[in-house]
A = this chain, B = another copy of it.
Amino acid sequence: MGDPSGIGPEVIAAALTLPTLWRGAIPLVFGDPGVLERALGARRFRRLRLESFGAGRPSAPAIVPLDAGSTSEPGKPDPAGARLQFDSIVRACNAMARGDADALCTAPVSKAQIATVEPGFVGHTEFLAERFHSTVLMLMAGPRLRVALATTHLPLSEVPRKLDRGSLAANLRLLDAELRKRFAIQSPRLAVTGLNPHAGEQGHFGREEIDVIRPAVEDAVASGVDVSGPFSADGLFPRVAQGAYDAVLAMYHDQGLIPVKLADFESAVNVTLGLPFVRTSPDHGVAYDLAGKDEADPRSTIAAVRLAIRLARGS
């Protein structure tokens, strides 16, 4: 459910009450039933009955009831809500570990709120990687572009020294394997961006392409991955949008997310690759300023649920 004081409950309610979304799939929610009831009640077009649930594979829409012990007022986070956010992640992970469900879609949490009750918490993705002893890779997947990120949330000045040959080659092998397994792409064609303008122009504007990225590409090719580059990033994305490659490995956050959000606005979904199960999430935060006003846009959550179902089917 994410933060019960954010827009999570509303966008979950919107997804839950969209009948076409769930054909052949069963939703199981981890969160405060009262908060969800309130969010469902605010939606006029369909009432939904959720069974209270413990463990096992649900046979009908169900909720694992977690007591917030909090007022969970929209827009007003409190420590009990912070505890609920963390507990819902832990309980959902336990369910995934038992095989109770096939895919996990996470609503937005407040990292700052959770850190007040669980010091050291830095985000869903990092928590999942540790919980499942996995090396993960963030992929933004939209209808026109799929872009994985070699680095994510760090200052731009730290990006150049974070790139290393071994990790980049491992990212490419993981991306290749997950596109085959989850996206049912038989022979994925991958491309890699450069770090510098014009991919360094033969070393004139930086040497990372020569010293790090190209050797990583060569390592991945030697492992059987069909990957090209490094390419000048500005020239690459129009070609990818026209179908030249199945996915791109970008070197840093803005280099990858600027094209995805421009090409696939509102329909791009964050997918965590490398876990033993499918995990997706909408691409927005808790948005306290919008919570409880029935103004939150549920499209990203609906897209995240739709993709989770599709990827869990491997199709």
Contact = CB atoms under 8 A, between A and B. Distances in A.
Is the contact region of chain A dominated by helix, strand, or loop, or is it mixed?
Answer: helix
A156 B196 contact: yes
Nearest to A145: B262
Interface residues of A, number: 37
B153 A156 contact: no
A156 B206 contact: yes
A152 B196 CA distance: 10
Nearest to A239: B265
Interface string A219-244: 00000000000000111011001000
Interface string A149-175: 000111111011000000000000000
A261 B241 contact: no
Contact of A206 (B157, B195, B237, B258): B157
B157 A157 contact: yes
Interface stretch (A37-45, A60-68, A249-257): A249-257
A132 interface: no
A57 interface: no
B206 A234 contact: no
A237 to B, nearest CB: 5
A152 B206 CA distance: 13
A154 B205 contact: yes
A263 interface: yes
A254 to B, nearest CB: 5
A236 to B, nearest CB: 9
Contact of A153 (B153, B157, B197, B237): B197
A238 B262 contact: yes
Contacts of A156: 156, 159-160, 195-197, 206, 208
22 contacts: A152-B197, A154-B205, A155-B200, A155-B207, A156-B196, A156-B197, A156-B206, A197-B254, A233-B254, A234-B253, A234-B254, A234-B260, A237-B262, A238-B261, A241-B262, A254-B255, A255-B255, A255-B258, A258-B258, A259-B259, A259-B262, A262-B262
